[in-house]
C-alpha cells in the first residue's frame, strides 16, 4: 500500500496506460480521480471495479486543453477527497501527417492536449498543493507530478512532428518546474514509454507481422504492456522514490539503445 491515504488524479484514465495507472494507484491505497473526455462508460466501469475491490474512485469528465474544464475537474476531485497529493498527466493524442501536409488544426489539436493540457493540469495541481496546510500530507513530499511523456521527447519521429514536439516540450516543462518547485518539496518527473500496447498505436502491434516489425526496434524482444508503465508510476509517486525529481524514467525495453547498431550499424 505504497500510496495509502493519498489522492491521485490521472488524466486520460479510461483506457490504455492511464487506465492501468489509475487501477494500480487505487490498488496501492490511493483515492483516485479517473479523468476522461469520451467513452464515459469505460470510465464508469473502472470506477465500479475499483470500488468493488474496496477502493475509492470518481469519474471526472474534462477536456484538459480547456482551462475552465481543468479548474472544475480539480474542484470536483478535492470536494470529494479533500486534497490532492499526486497528479499523473497522461492524456495524449496523435494526429499524424507528412510534415508538408500537416494542417494547422492537426498541429494545434495535438499541442493543445499533449502540452497545453499538461501545463494547465500541472499548474492547477501546484495551486492545490499550495492550498493545503504545510505538513498535512501522507507523503514525505508535499506534492508529486508525473508526466507521461514518450521516448519521442528525445527521438525524432517522421510524420509525427506535432506529437514529437509536444513530448519534447513536456521534457522541458517537467525539468523547468522540477527545478522551480523542488524547494517547496514538490517532486516533478516523467515516464517515457516506448512501444506499449495501447489503442493509440494498435495498428503497430495488432497483427503478427506488425508486431514482428516493431520488435526489431526493441532490444528486449517484447512490446510493452500498460502494466509496465503503471508499476513504475506507483513507485515514482511513492516515498521509495522521494529523492528523484527532474528525471525522465524511460520504460522502453531498450528502444533508446539504438538497436540498429547491434550488428555494427
How many whole angstroms separate alpha carbon 59 and alpha carbon 31? Answer: 12
Outline where DSSP puts E strands in 102-212: 143-148, 186-193
* 163 belongs to the catalytic site: yes
How many whole angstroms separate alpha carbon 189 and alpha carbon 249? Answer: 8
Cell of 206: 495488432
CA 30 to chain centre: 16
With residue 178 as reference, give the H or E element that holds it: helix 161-181
Task: Yes or no: say if 173 and 218 are a contact pair by the CB < 8 Å rule.
Answer: no
How many whole angstroms separate alpha carbon 3 and alpha carbon 84? Answer: 12
Q: Cell numbers 501545463 label which residue?
A: 119
Of residues 163, 220, 243, 258, which has the active-site annotation?
163
Q: Cell numbers 479548474 label which residue?
A: 71
Task: Yes or no: say if 21 and 228 are a contact pair by the CB < 8 Å rule.
Answer: no
Length of the chain: 265
Q: Which residues are catalytic?
A: 163
Amino acid at each position: 500500500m505504497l500510496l495509502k491515504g493519498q489522492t491521485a488524479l490521472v488524466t486520460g484514465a479510461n483506457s490504455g496506460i492511464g487506465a492501468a495507472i489509475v487501477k494500480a494507484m487505487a490498488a496501492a491505497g490511493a483515492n483516485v480521480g479517473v479523468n476522461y473526455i469520451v467513452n464515459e462508460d469505460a470510465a464508469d466501469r473502472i470506477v465500479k471495479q475499483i470500488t468493488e475491490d474496496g477502493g475509492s474512485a470518481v469519474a471526472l469528465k474534462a477536456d484538459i486543453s480547456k482551462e475552465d474544464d481543468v479548474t472544475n475537474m480539480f474542484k470536483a476531485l478535492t470536494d470529494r477527497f479533500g486534497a490532492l497529493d499526486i497528479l499523473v498527466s497522461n492524456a495524449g493524442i496523435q494526429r499524424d501527417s507528412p510534415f508538408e501536409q500537416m494542417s494547422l488544426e492537426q498541429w494545434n489539436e495535438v499541442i493543445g492536449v499533449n502540452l497545453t493540457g499538461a501545463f494547465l493540469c500541472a499548474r492547477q495541481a501546484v495551486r492545490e498543493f499550495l492550498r493545503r496546510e504545510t505538513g498535512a500530507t501522507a507523503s514525505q513530499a508535499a506534492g508529486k507530478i508525473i508526466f507521461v511523456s514518450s521516448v519521442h521527447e528525445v527521438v525524432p519521429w517522421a510524420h509525427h512532428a506535432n506529437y514529437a514536439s509536444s513530448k519534447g516540450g513536456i521534457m522541458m516543462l517537467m525539468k523547468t518546474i522540477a527545478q522551480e518547485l523542488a524547494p517547496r518539496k514538490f517532486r516533478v518527473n516523467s515516464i517515457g514509454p516506448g512501444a506499449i500496447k495501447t489503442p493509440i498505436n494498435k495498428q503497430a502491434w495488432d497483427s503478427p507481422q506488425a508486431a514482428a516489425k516493431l520488435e526489431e526496434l526493441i532490444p528486449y524482444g517484447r512490446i510493452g504492456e500498460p502494466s509496465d508503465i503503471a508499476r513504475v508510476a506507483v513507485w515514482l509517486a511513492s516515498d521509495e522514490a522521494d529523492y528523484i525529481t527532474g528525471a525522465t524514467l524511460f520504460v522502453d525495453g531498450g528502444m533508446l539503445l539504438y538497436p540498429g547498431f547491434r550488428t555494427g550499424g
